[in-house]
Amino acid sequence: MILLTRKADFSSAHFYYNPSLSQAENERIFGKCANRNGHGHNYTLEVTVAGEIDPVSGFVVDLKQLKDILEREVVSVYDHRHLNHEVPEFANTIPTTENIAVAIWKRLDGKVPNAKVLRVRVYEMPDLFADYYGESA
């Protein structure tokens, strides 16, 4: 078994706000992130797939196909979007780095032919990232 990791980027707006809490509680927990005009980030996504090397191609997974899957399932939905307002999974879920990693794992799980999506890593900033290995990990 070998692992292959490909990165992709998306630039999105978001904010952190839990409507079941008061404004003051939101500000205490989320600080500047509670500003509902939103702010934004250049997110970096790393998707790691695991599989066997195909002896004909030398690939675990067709790179062009993997890039197309990431584009179709994630980048086209998240990039240049306001996550809270335009991405359905964040209508009622706060788009923290952790929740974004879980959401992307759910979008990709089972979509890559001949390989397993082992890990989704999401960087919100170069100094902060979340890793999700799926529900069985």
Please identify every residue annotated as catalytic: 33, 80, 124
Shortest spacing between CB 110 and a copy of itself, in angstroms: 19
Shortest spacing between CB 124 and a copy of itself, in angstroms: 8
Instruction: CB nearer to a copy of itself: give 25 or 111.
Output: 25
Instruction: CB nearer to a copy of itself: give 60 or 117.
Output: 60
SS3 20: coil
Instruction: CB nearer to a copy of itself: give 117 or 132.
Output: 132
Shortest spacing between CB 113 and a copy of itself, in angstroms: 14
Which residues make up the interface to a copy of itself (CB under 8 A)?
1-9, 11-14, 16, 18, 20-21, 29-33, 35, 37-42, 48, 53, 56-60, 62-64, 79-82, 85-86, 93-99, 101-102, 125-133, 137
Shortest spacing between CB 24 and a copy of itself, in angstroms: 15
Helix (H) or strand (E) segment spanning residue 118: strand 116-125
Is the dihedral angle over the CA atoms 21, 24, 29, 30 positive or is it negative? positive
Instruction: CB nearer to a copy of itself: give 39 or 111.
Output: 39
Residue with tokens 């890990």: 119
> % helix / strand / coil in the chain, to the nearest 5?
35, 30, 35
